[in-house]
Structure 1
Amino acid sequence: MKLLEQMSLTVSKYFAFIVILVAIIAFFTPDTFVWIGGHIPILLGVIMFGMGTTMTLADFKVIAKKPAPVIIGLLAQFLVMPLTAFALAYVLNLPPELAAGLVLVGACPGGTASNVMVYLSRGDVPTSVAMTSVSTMLSPLLTPLIVLVLAGQWLPVGFGDMLMSIVQVIMIPISLGIIVRKLVPRAVENGQKVLPLVSVIAIMLIVTAVVAANAHNILTSGLMVLTAVILHNGFGLIFGYVIAKWAKLDETKRRAISIEVGMQNSGLGAALATAHFSPLAALPSALFSVWHNISGPLLVSFWRKDRNQ
């Protein structure tokens, strides 16, 4: 167990570099990884199960005590990211599948790594955790609705089918995680330090599957999509902070909302795009998964230089 814990810490620390490395390997040897594509929903379910084992009622009590920061953050989450993706798709004149894929990742809930980034940046962790939890719970309704409204012009969107997919790969695994935590709390507590390793491996496999399936598309559209993803993530981080500042929230909450808005559950985006659109539509999610694990630590490093905060 000690060895696994050490491996978990190491992999989490160098996650961005590892994901880039496996993405490069998958690009040059796509046949080795393309078979993983059919298992993306299961891999995402594993990640969500791990998230469920970390969730408690205390995560939601923050909303009852101080609802304003969480509500402001959630409004920013589900407005800024989808609308920014929609605008970028038009400005950059993205092909229909890539445009729909970018909107889809923008409509996803907060990413699972955001809480760690908020902690490292000395942000308000309870607000971050509450935003991740609530946005995830709202995603079965809001994600397909937003995609239908904003991306329906590019590709046909099955609202009911997408809703059921999110229930299957998000809500059921999370619920099972919560139940397991309730039934065997000591075993779950002992396994918490190893869970990051499992999640990282699952995310790595999702990225390799999408990259392998899009090896040819990356040669023709990769730079365009990467530009869109970097701008999308950057605007999310900036607008999240600005909106929180405009609402007169303190610095710790500004940082929490900034990171929560900018970091998406790109694994969900990849799973939904692969299942309901095409492998090409999953490319923005895969690149987002790589990029936000680079931009997040960079932002953390910038904020941690200010020792007065």
Structure 2
Amino acid sequence: MNDSPLISVGLPIALAIIMFGLGLSLTPADFRRVARSPKAVVVALVLQVLVLPVVAFGLVISFDLDPLLAVGVMLLAASPGGTTANLFSHLFRGDVALNITLTAINSVLAAVSIPLITNLAISHFGAEGELGLQVGKVLQVIAIVLVPVAIGMLVRRRSEAFAARADRPVRIFSITVLVVVAVGALLGERENLGGYLQQVGLVTGLFCLISLSLGYGVARLLRLGRPQAIASSMEVGIHNTTVALTIALSVLDSTEVAIPSAVYSVLMYVLATAFGFLVTRGHARPDRDAGPVHESSAGEPRT
């Protein structure tokens, strides 16, 4: 499966299109918004970039995972929040503008954090003989993550009408790619799937719940409003697993490394939905002290 042109060429191209679509939804204002709510942005980014890898490492050590599965969990932890987090935040009355800002910044940081954390994991778990993100592969990660986002932003700047028309098709394409790749990764290891699910199912489930809880709990502890706390929880708890799957399959050439992300891509929808209902139960409206939910330039929360 890994050696097929569909994986080695098609999957990176598909991810580039997805990241291009993400770029089409972003503007420089999304980055400038950091100045207006720096506390919320810093809280979520510290959790995403620094705390989640530590949590993932602790879970991997505690459950004594196979080295390749351990690397897969660390790769998952390093992957950025995805545009799906914007949708969940919107559904549960979160601050969608904050999600958009975090997604934009995370997509830039991921080009550095993914190779760094993944290489450290490969080295620590002794997987150098089978894996490795050398300089060329690091540049490949940057190319398929960061460059398409930048191009998408440039296209949006030239033609907002085109960006608006492309939004829905790209979203449908993104979901389709995620489903196909996740199912393909699981089927590719179907002989070992039972054992893998037993090993990583609990780990990835716990990782998702801890991520959602940290995103919400730390934000509330630091006296951020409920909408911002919901946005933080969804951004921290819902990862762009397509990025992790693509890197595992086409860059690292390992289906086993892709398994944690494939399992997580299923669990996160169920757990994030349950978590969203839990934290919004009895709160039909956002906190009054949190201020209004920010809107995009189009006047509607962007999902």
Q: TM-score range by the shorter chain?
A: 0.7 to 0.9
- After TM superposition, the score normalised by the length of structure 1 is 0.84
Deviates more, 1:193-202 or 1:85-94: 193-202
- Once the two structures are TM-superposed, the CA of residue 40 in structure 1 deviates from its matched residue by 2.1
Letter of the 1:143 counterpart: I
1:231 and 2:231 aligned: no
**Mean alpha-carbon deviation: is it higher for 125-134 or for 142-151?**
142-151
Paired AA for residue 141 in structure 1: V
Q: How does 1:22-171 map to 2 (within 5 A)?
A: 36-38=6-8, 39-154=10-125, 155-156=127-128, 157-158=132-133, 160-171=135-146
One-letter identity of the residue aligned with 1:61: R
Letter in 1 for 2:186: V
Letter in 2 for 1:120: L
- Deviation digits for residues 162-209 of structure 1 (CA, Å, limit 9, x no counterpart): 431221211122122222222332222223233321211121222122
SS in 2 for 1:192: helix
TM-score norm. by structure 2 comes to 0.85
Indicate the SS of the match to 1:264. coil
Distance (Å, rounded) in 2 between the aligned partners of 1:299 and 1:282: 25
User: Distance between the aligned counterparts of 2:6 and 2:197, measured in 1?
Assistant: 21
State the distance in 2 between where 1:187 and 1:116 align: 21
Return the alpha-carbon distance in structure 2 between the equivalents of residues 192 and 140 of structure 1. 23
**Matched-pair contact (CA < 8 Å) for 2:98–2:231:** yes
Q: Measured at CA, do residues 106 and 250 of structure 1 come closer, stay the same or move farther in structure 2, by a change above 3 Å?
A: same
Q: Which runs of 5+ in 2 are unaligned?
A: 287-303
Confirm or deny: 8 A CA contact 2:200 2:260 kept in the other structure.
Answer: yes
1:287 aligns with 2:263: yes
1:63-84 Cα deviation digits (max 9, x unpaired): 0222121011100001222111
CA distance in 1, matches of 2:134, 2:105: 20
Runs of 4+ in 1 over 4 A off after TM superposition: none
Structure 1: gaps (5+ residues): 1-29
> In the alignment, is the contact (CA less than 8 A) between 1:259 and 1:296 conserved in 2?
yes
Matched to 1:134, the amino acid is I
Letter in 1 for 2:25: T
Q: CA RMSD in A?
A: 2.1
